[in-house]
Amino acid sequence: MELYELNLRSAAEGVRTKKFSALELFDSCLARAVACEPNLSALITTTVEAGREMARRADERLAKGEDPGPLTGVPVVLKDNLCTKGVRTTAGSAILGDWKPPYDATVWELLRDAGAVLLGKANLDEFAMGNTCGSSAFGPTRNPWDTTRVPGGSSGGSAAAVSAGYVPFSLGSDTGGSIRQPASYCGVYGLKPTYGLVSRYGVISYGSSLDQVGPFARTVGDLHAVMGVLARHDPRDSSSVRGKGLDFSPVPEDLKGKRVGLVREFQGFTLEAPIADAMARVRGLLEDAGAEIVEVELPIVARYAVSCYYAIAMSEAHTNLERYDGVRYGRTVDDAEGIKEMFERVRSQGFGIEVKSRIIAGTCLTEPVRSEEYYVAATKVRTLIAQEFAKAFDAADFILQPVTPALPAPVGGVDEDAMKGYESDLYTLPVNMAGLPGLSFFTGYSPSGLPVGLQLVGPRWSDGRLLNVGLTLEAMLGSPRIAKGGL
Ligand code: GLN
């Protein structure tokens, strides 16, 4: 077995007990990344020197008998919308040029303090807008199980890197599904935490009321390990919630008597056969384990969540992206005649088409004459969606639902109908609208060899228990393998 094949906890244990050095582990992971990158393009930046230096330092501290933390020597990849001091951070956009942030995102600070070693910054849809990883200014990432297909998005690079064995874990961000959907497409586990549990400081904002950072890994227990480090109150993020020190010790959940909800309104929607089969199979396993299947109703979610999500996300995006003006960050032009021309040229050259269309839509939706009818109305529906979930969780401990209606599409098979792409987020984005935690878990492979994931959604702050249910499911369904990565 090669070192890059180890999961997070085995890798950390091996470094701590000096079975191998952090540098050996890093070099094995790096060699794997270098071998697969021509096929996958999962990384925008590979931090070879900085990473080797961090690994060396971890080894030195261990040699001195210090305990540098639970993630000591474990390589990690961060989605490239997470700020890393002195390391280029692009958000997948040309507008940031080779901007090097003057500070670290809190999530990276926490991982680094726990001993993690940076291997690279992962590709993403531009400013995290999309679900294919195809809107990146750096070109598309490919699915490590079938390189003709998309890895999902927007955190496609982070998911692909874990799936192909570049690193045992990575971070992504999830505004409407961007951790859960690529986790499912790439055959790894991914958690979107409860809103407010993980700091957003230093996360390049897309939809601030929806964005949440979370981990990808090849075992559920590894998600526990990362969440144990990330779930901290951060005074630098006003939406970070105090006093929610949740327990992330991995304890498989006894499913006997647990009420698992299936959403009545989703029953009528079409799923591709491998996903429908997985739903039936997991339902059967849950029943065998003593869980009770109950029906819950989410009529407003089923009918209005997609349109309201996009109204809110685009409105927030247009506000958040105002700051890219050619003055404060990255790209600029020197020969503009006046400030208006400078803004126009920087923004029209720097942003890609998906981002531009969302800025325009967001501008229209929040115009004073229209905002009551659209943006404000969408936020009201959002409250109803949160209430609807709260009611569902009176009847069920967790909800089991798909992540997507279909398996990953071919790369570049761009749908002419953008709305169809947006609608495929129906199962993920309501979770963000209500601020809930969602776990994307691996169930097995389709007859064509593609991984099939499903989703478990819980009430706010049930993150630890959600992962514990995930452990039980992993024991029943088996863990994913490392993908071939096109080799
Ligand atoms: N696909 C959704 C969107 O484009 C979600 C993206 C995300 O979670 N960052 O908005």
Q: Give the pLDDT means over successive 10-residue stretches in the chain (487 positions).
A: 97 97 98 98 98 97 92 98 98 96 98 98 98 96 98 98 98 98 98 98 98 98 98 97 90 98 95 97 98 98 96 97 91 90 95 96 95 96 98 98 96 69 91 98 98 98 98 98 97
CA distance linking residue 161 with residue 152, whole number of Å: 12
Q: Please tell me the predicted confidence (pLDDT) of residue 415.
A: 58
Q: What is the pLDDT of residue 412?
A: 84
How high is the pLDDT of residue 331? 86
- What's the confidence (pLDDT) of residue 483? 98
Say what the pLDDT of residue 147 is. 98
Measured in angstroms, how far is the CA atom of residue 223 from the centroid of ligand 1?
A: 21
Nearest ligand 1 atom, CA 178: 8
- Identify the pLDDT of residue 409: 93
User: Kindly report the CA angle at 377 between 403 and 397, in degrees rounded to 5?
Assistant: 40
- Residue with the nearest Cα to atom 5 of ligand 1? 176
Q: Is 313 in the pocket of ligand 1 (CB under 6 A)?
A: yes
- What pLDDT shows up at residue 397? 98
177 lines ligand 1 (CB under 6 A): yes
Q: Are 410 and 134 in contact (CB under 8 A)?
A: no
Phi-psi region of 236 (alpha: psi -120 to 50; beta: other; left: phi over 0): alpha
* Terminal C-alpha separation, the chain: 17
Token reading at 98: 């080779």
Residues 6+ away with beta carbon under 8 Å from 394: none
Atom of ligand 1 lying closest to residue 210 CA = 8
What's the CA dihedral at 17, 23, 25, 26 to 10 degrees? 140
Q: What is the predicted pLDDT for the residue at 422?
A: 80
Alpha-carbon distance values, 399 to 26, 173, 258, 276, 427 (Å): 38, 22, 11, 16, 11
Nearest ligand 1 atom, CA 309: 10
Q: How many angstroms separate the Cα of 314 from the Cα of each of 25, 53, 352?
A: 42, 40, 15
For ligand 1, atom 10, the nearest C-alpha belongs to: 129
**Which residues form the catalytic set?**
79, 154, 178
Q: Are 324 and 346 in contact (CB under 8 A)?
A: yes
CA dihedral 34, 36, 40, 46 (to 10 degrees): -20
Omega into 239 within 30° of 0, i.e. cis? Answer: no
Q: Structural domains in the chain?
A: 3-257+401-477 (3.90.1300.10)
DSSP H helical ranges for 8-47: 8-16, 22-40
- Residues 6 or more apart from 19 whose CB is under 8 A from it? 13
The residues, any chain, with a CB within 8 Å of residue 97's CB and separated by 6 or more, are: 330, 331
pLDDT of residue 257: 97
- One DSSP character per residue, 92-135 reads T-GGGTT---SS--HHHHHHHHTT-EEEEEE--SGGG--SSS-S
Contact 296, 399 (CB under 8 A): yes
212: Cβ–Cβ under 8 A, 6 or more apart, which residues? 173, 174, 175, 192, 193, 194, 195, 197, 198, 200, 432
Give the torsion through C-alpha atoms of 268, 270, 272, 276, to 10 deg: 0
Q: Is the CB of 126 under 6 A from ligand 1?
A: no
Probe residue for ligand 1, chosen from 312, 429, 455 as the CB with the greatest number of ligand atoms within 8 Å: 429
Cβ of residue 196 lying under 6 Å from some atom of ligand 1: no
Euclidean distance between CA atoms 80 and 330, whole angstroms: 15
Residue in the structure block whose two tokens are 């979107």: 192
**pLDDT attached to residue 418:** 67
Ligand 1 centre from 281 Cα, in Å?
28
Q: Which helix (H) or strand (E) holds 173?
A: strand 169-174
